[in-house]
Structure 1
């Protein structure tokens, strides 16, 4: 009998060991799958970021060509006229810069001259004009002027156009390479920081296109979004959490708020198109309309995060405030709201970061227009940084390819900064109960 019991106990022990071994094997497999998934996601992220950086870092520098320009009155076509801003605005600066490049690389024939003129950006003459208007004493002199290079010249200098590529497959031909080499031998080519990328608006010329107009448009759009969504979202959260009666109407409102948080952003764009543009007749492609649309999209996020922050405040704080004679409004405003504010601010920053990266709703309300001028207010026509990236991505030119990746890098930096602010704020202001 004893041997039988021992055998049964041994059998059960073996079964238990086998079961434990199977559980451990399952746990190890699950851990392996988790680590493999995280590693794969991280690898994809590294590949994505490497691709963006390798394509976009060249957008942060550009090429210039040194010219000796004749700013005499006869060369400018203003001989015998008073030197003032109006006269200089009408002067022949294009002729001056073209004559200067011909002096560096003498060529004959209309075709060769046109190809040589393309070495210079269309903005070179305007930069020279602005320089002379700022210092009229330059008129009558010969000066050294570093002119902005054209896109093909710029891309070849950066290495984005390869000489090894067959001539039929590149815009920069063998003759152009020979001219480029001659300019390099004379030390007339240099690489400088591309300030145009950060200070200009959009342009048809890749070397002149910049993100400043889109950045200002995004700023005004987010400003309108913040001014509207923050007070409305917090007020709604306070009412639903502290004052609203618990009935079917309140439950319906809460369900709809949660559902709105999952609605695709393009639906909000369609709503803005139908209400704000077609009914309210607000200006198309204006940051104020974009801000209104993004407010509708951001409100559910702010309300949900604000309610969670209010719920995290211990009931003892409310009881203590009411116990010393505070009214319910005083209890909420003086005690609950200050303690919940860090969580509310964190949710608001996350909502703003989400709004900064949205493109679809802004496309629906017309913020996809080609805007050259930098907007001076929320009612001016403007575009946003994500929409600017979308517009540039449609252009096949090498310059716009690098501009697209460079703008993505700037946008990702803004998003990382905003999310970092949310994390730091949560860590520093959170309270442990």
Structure 2
């Protein structure tokens, strides 16, 4: 009996160290994220719906996917500004209500132009939630716990997505309209939870705080080291985007069936659900620079190894495992870094510009990857992914080495990148307190 009791005690301690001490508002936000992803059916099955159910061409489905990504890119900036100007909660609630509305409308829409327009609006509203959610977490969670909070939020996203993908195919047998309406209903439920349970968390405006410099969108763009982080993120995001675009095409050309692809890519979500929390605890106290460098290399060359897979589904599974481990270490570490680089009164703008890198990848990734695959072949495509990961790793290493930068925004960026990862992904106190305006 002593062994089970000891194991139970270790498990309880792990849960307490991983999830304990976070504000109640965070957990309501976490529940909202999980419910939202549990109902996120439409994005996953949109291309299949357009080609299989509506009879449109694959090229048209690709165009709609790109317009969805374009809407997400535009909303990154717009939602970031609104998050700072009108508040986190109203921006988030409006974005979720808009997503629910246009998702339901999309299920009833007919005609190529109309579907394309509504898909753009769905992408716009859906991505508009990101800056607000990230800003709320940074507002309500102490710096010493932000890394854990972002890891738990990332875990909820993938847990919900994995479960929704598993049941969406079954629900689709009753008609794709059911998917659209359930997606809309779950998103509307999240809006209600946010409205009822999450208070406004936006700090006082700069005009009301003499000690805080005013920060506008131009200030964010002129923050050269932060923009360097955004650019490096774009490289990694372009690589990650290939998992749902060129990877299935290349696997199909190698004779891998769609069912095999489904099993291989499902390994991504499974590993995240199983390893996110243990790996988050393992990296505590380790160099943030080293984490970002290692993660970028794992992601880049995880995809790069795909060039050697041939017709082996097992080898594809190995490559997915490699870049998934990189993703697990990369995303929460990077989000903690971005939160620390963002002045409290401008967190929405900073998070919006950061989110833009992922949105641009969603827009550009399918087109760029498809062109390279068609005209240069899989070997060049996957080799390019490895190069992108290497360039990103070198970039993070250079940023981490510049910890002796002069005071100001650049100094905060350098110190934050070089800082060790703790339970929060916390940078030194001087980085938390240093001026970030220009």
TM-score class normalised by the smaller sequence: under 0.3
- TM-score, normalised to structure 2, is 0.27
Q: Which has the higher contact order (CA 8 A, sep 6+)?
A: 2
Structure in which a larger fraction of residues adopt strand: 1
Q: Whose helix fraction is larger, Structure 1's or Structure 2's? A: 2
Larger Rg: 1
TM-score between the two structures when normalised by the length of structure 1: 0.27
